[in-house]
Amino acid sequence: MTPRATLDLPQMAGAADAMQPVPVADRVHWVGALDPDLRNFDIILRTANGTSYNAYVVRGSTGVAVIDTVKQEFTEPFLKRLEAVARYDELTTLVLNHLEPDHTGAVPELLRRAPHLEICVSPRGVQVLRALLKDRFDDYAVRIVRTGDTVSLGDQTLRFLTTPYVHWPDTQCTHLQDQRLLFTCDLFGCHFCDARLFNDRVGDFRFSFEYYFEHIMRPFKAYVVAALDLIEPLDIAMIAPSHGPILRAHPRQYITHYRRLVKSRLASEVGDQKTLLIFYVSAYGATSMMAGAIYEGAAENPDVRASLFDLQIGEFTPFVDLIEEADALVFGSPTINGDAVKTVWDLLAGLVDIDTKGKLGAAFGSYGWTGEAVQMVEGRLQGLKMRVPEKGLKIKLHPTDAELEDCRDFGRRLAAHLTGRMQPREVDFADL
Ligand SMILES: Cc1cc2nc3c(=O)[nH]c(=O)nc-3n(C[C@H](O)[C@H](O)[C@H](O)COP(=O)(O)O)c2cc1C
Ligand SMILES: [Fe+2]
Ligand SMILES: [Fe+2]
């Protein structure tokens, strides 16, 4: 067995900074940076063993390209590695596949040293680049590249693929055709720090790979599918993302794995029915009675599968998959101290990892005197870009029999919106 001391593991103090450029393929070098001490990324992600910012240098017979850079605080080790494989006056091209600061932190300093570089960005990337470079933007040669465009480095050719929203509007991939190497930036990336760099050499990063997808790519599943459709037909021997291991062993497996991850988590068994989920909390049972009646009304529609869930159980994770698949989401909360109940807010906050755009949304709740909860929840649903065709239903204290019938009607109307038997009426902001 190889002694641990010879592995140059990033956990060893100084090992990360001392790393030399690593050959990735013929005339391609890794010149990125390791960040083994990072424990939290973009606030939302935990990074139990840090991350890496992978940047690459591609040397052709007439040009040298830099593919992505690193987070600003790693500018120095990045440039040192870059200098070890190319002179600044040899560099011709800077490809920015994504302009989030973890990949563009070293751009200003690189451009200061190599101002002649032609910067290749996607159509949306140019807007972010302008914001990044501010009044210096006009000092540089910027080229907007789209799917199929190429940049020749002589005997090496870079071909671009515009793959927006994986996970920013600016994201693109770059295919080095001659080496069958695909640079994907965040796509197929993960936060996993291991100086051995290659997927066939590093530790077990399966959890990190899925966790990264879950929190970064999942809200953009439709765009991931579009990106996979572009990528799949390519000749690929290696996927080189900008975080975590370089996928040189069985790269197709990761594409297949992404195909699995973008699919539904739940076995399909509903057939053609539309699904409507009602979530509620209730302190004295009034909102609960409303929820039950709305449920009854919606369930009368044979084309709608209605379900009722009491959020008092306080555990939301299982609901997120369900919500992602649902057609309609209905939230009930009493007004407590001028607000909706925290449990409902917690569930709504948990929806950041999924795409709720275009789903039908509605709110209801019992109240005593002011009743703000319903409008507040409606506002949040609109903020999530859901369509809210019915004005939220508010009932003072416990509902009467007549009011329960109003609730049933509310449920019937929501169901009818789902099955297309009612014209949607968007709630006017003035109503909120
Ligand atoms: C601690 C507390 C605070 C409340 N604050 C408000 C309030 O700010 N505005 C309001 O309209 N009703 C308020 N209410 C009244 C409740 O909204 C009302 O009792 C409602 O019917 C409770 O519905 P539930 O049985 O579904 O819990 C409050 C009730 C409690 C117990
Ligand atoms: Fe990113
Ligand atoms: Fe990133």
Where are the chain's structural domains? Answer: 11-262, 274-420
Report the pLDDT value the prediction gives residue 315, as an integer from 0 to 100. Answer: 80
Tokens coding 186? 């965040």
Report the pLDDT value the prediction gives residue 269, as an integer from 0 to 100. Answer: 64
6 CB within 6 A, ligand 1: no
Q: Residue 94's Cα: distance from chain center in Å? A: 25
11-262: CATH, from 3.30.1330.10, 3.40.50.970, 3.40.50.450, 3.60.15.10: 3.60.15.10
CA 287, 293, 294, 299 dihedral sign is positive
Look up the pTM and report it.
0.86
Class of domain 274-420: alpha beta
Atom 31 of ligand 1 has which residue's CA nearest to it? 336
CA distances from 280 to 200, 229, 286, 331, 340 (A): 48, 40, 11, 6, 11
Atom of ligand 1 nearest to the CA of 284: 25
Contacts of 70 (CB under 8 A, 6+ apart): 32, 33, 53, 55, 78, 102, 103, 105, 106
- As a whole number of angstroms, the distance between CA 391 and CA 427 comes to 6
For 255, half-sphere exposure in the C-beta direction (CA atoms, 13 angstrom radius) is 22
Atom 17 of ligand 1 has which residue's CA nearest to it? 367
What confidence tens digit (pLDDT) does each residue in 264-310 have? 777 666 578 899 999 999 999 999 999 999 999 999 999 999 999 99
429 CB within 6 A, ligand 1: no
DSSP-derived secondary structure letter, 36: T
Which secondary structure element, helix H or strand E, spans residue 401, and what is its range?
helix 401-418
396 CB within 6 A, ligand 1: no
Atom of ligand 1 nearest to the CA of 397: 21
* Residue found by looking up tokens 């044979």 in the block: 302
Task: State residue 118 phi and psi, 5-degree precision.
Answer: -90, 125
CA distances from 91 to 36, 95, 381 (A): 29, 11, 49
Report the pLDDT value the prediction gives residue 316, as an integer from 0 to 100. Answer: 85
Report the pLDDT value the prediction gives residue 7, as an integer from 0 to 100. Answer: 47
Report the pLDDT value the prediction gives residue 83, as an integer from 0 to 100. Answer: 98
Atom 27 of ligand 1 has which residue's CA nearest to it? 283
CA distances from 65 to 9, 52, 100, 343, 395 (A): 28, 20, 19, 51, 65
Among 367, 375, 393, 407, the mutation site with the greatest number of ligand 1 atoms within 8 A of its Cβ is 367
- As a whole number of angstroms, the distance between CA 49 and CA 35 comes to 9
Q: β-strands 28-30, 22-25: how paired?
A: antiparallel
**For residues 238 and 200, is the Cβ–Cβ distance under 8 A?**
no
Report the pLDDT value the prediction gives residue 6, as an integer from 0 to 100. Answer: 44
What confidence tens digit (pLDDT) does each residue in 84-138 have? 999 999 999 999 999 999 999 999 999 999 999 999 999 999 999 999 999 999 9
CA distances from 253 to 181, 236, 249, 391 (A): 15, 11, 9, 48
Which residue in 207, 258, 219, 262 sits closest to 236, CA to CA?
258
- As a whole number of angstroms, the distance between CA 368 and CA 366 comes to 7
Atom of ligand 1 nearest to the CA of 396: 21
**Low-confidence residues of the chain: pLDDT under 50:** 1-8, 10-13, 432
Gap from CA of 425 to ligand 2 centroid (Å): 37
Atom of ligand 1 nearest to the CA of 371: 11
